[in-house]
Amino acid sequence: MTQTKQTPEARTPEAPKHPVANGPKKRQRPVIAIDGPAGAGKSTLAAHLARRFGFLNLETGAMYRALALKAIENDYAFDEEAPLMDLAARTRITLQPQLEGNRVLLDTIDVSRRIREADVTSAASKISIHPRLRAWMVQQQRALGEAGGVVMEGRDIGTAVFPDAEVKIFLDAAPEVRGNRRYRQATPESIAANNPNAPQNADRQAPDPLTAEQQRLAEQAVIRELKERDYRDRHRAESPLQPAADAVILDSTAMTLDEVLARAEEIVRSHLPREAS
């Protein structure tokens, strides 16, 4: 387990603008960039590789989720970029790497669990289409990982944040497979909350179990949402979701989790100096 001496934070510049790369810098330890669509398993893979190689795991998508949560809580429109930029200027997002991921603090409040819920996930995808907001996020993410020795996962790490990353993996899978995985990971409460036909028990403390038909409809809804998010991610003006030209594409559609992890380790080792692997 790798210990870190300082907590990464997203700090807001006074005038966010699109960062300009000054050319690749020589890092003592590499950056491992993991990109891919929603539900592909990037967080699981990043946490595993960070443990295996003793790197810091930074989940950049949590930064979008945290800002989206603040937008929800303050009733901001997701399609208006200027107010969202103003909100970002008054927001402090802190990532505290843990063994199995990141503890996320939004203005000192732990929102690690809340940002995984469906409404925040959907909002994060919607606010991420704004060019100036993505440019601001890219600045923060570069600052967090510029020293190297990190695994960073997101949508544009290998293409926009660290185009000079030493290791680039694009993790993909068919939307039906990703939707089924995301559905099985969801809590019964979150599934029922997004299913208006779910039965409620008398005291309304918790939803009753879904019927087989309701489960089928709920899973279809998850797959439909993933496809909509794929479209937004792949067609946005700023940093659309696509593999970097030098990324290794890892399609996990027909692979088990163990197979994906083993193959990813092989990819990392093949790109690292022999003494580092």
The identity of residue 201, as a single letter, is N
SS3 category, 59: strand
Q: What is the pLDDT of residue 235?
A: 86
pLDDT in tens, 230-243: 898 888 877 788 99
Between 155 and 264, residue with greater pLDDT: 264
Sheet holding 150-154, edge to edge: 56-59, 150-154, 31-35, 167-172, 248-251
Question: Is residue 23 situated within a structural domain?
Answer: no
d(CA 46, CA 44): 6
pLDDT in tens, 157-193: 999 999 999 999 999 999 999 988 887 776 554 545 5
Q: Does the pLDDT of residue 115 top 90, yes or no?
A: yes
Domain range holding 216?
9-16+31-270
Q: What is the DSSP letter of 115?
A: G
Question: Is residue 25 situated within a structural domain?
Answer: no
Lowest mean pLDDT among 19-23, 128-132, 231-235: 19-23
Question: Is residue 101 situated within a structural domain?
Answer: yes
The identity of residue 7, as a single letter, is T
- Specify the CATH number for the domain of residue 118: 3.40.50.300
Q: Pairing relation of β-strands 31-35 and 150-154?
A: parallel
Average pLDDT over residues 188-210: 53
Question: Is residue 22 situated within a structural domain?
Answer: no
DSSP codes, 124-165: HHHHTT-HHHHHHHHHHHHHHHTTS-EEEEESSIIIII-TT-
Nearest alpha-carbon partner for 6 in 42, 58, 43: 58
Average pLDDT over residues 108-129: 92
SS3 category, 217: helix
For residue 132, what are the contacts with CB-CB under 8 A and spacing of at least 6?
16, 17, 18, 81, 85
pLDDT in tens, 207-256: 567 788 888 888 888 888 889 888 988 888 777 889 999 999 999 999 99
Q: What is the pLDDT of residue 239?
A: 79
pLDDT in tens, 43-94: 899 999 999 998 988 888 899 999 999 999 999 999 999 999 999 999 999 8
Q: How many domains does the chain have?
A: 1
Roughly how many angstroms between the first and final C-alpha of the chain, as a whole number?
16
Q: How confident is the model at residue 110 (pLDDT cuts 50, 70, 90)?
A: very high
Q: Does the pLDDT of residue 114 top 50, yes or no?
A: yes
Question: Is residue 21 situated within a structural domain?
Answer: no
Q: What is the pLDDT of residue 61?
A: 87
Question: Is residue 47 situated within a structural domain?
Answer: yes
Question: Is residue 3 situated within a structural domain?
Answer: no
Question: Is residue 277 situated within a structural domain?
Answer: no
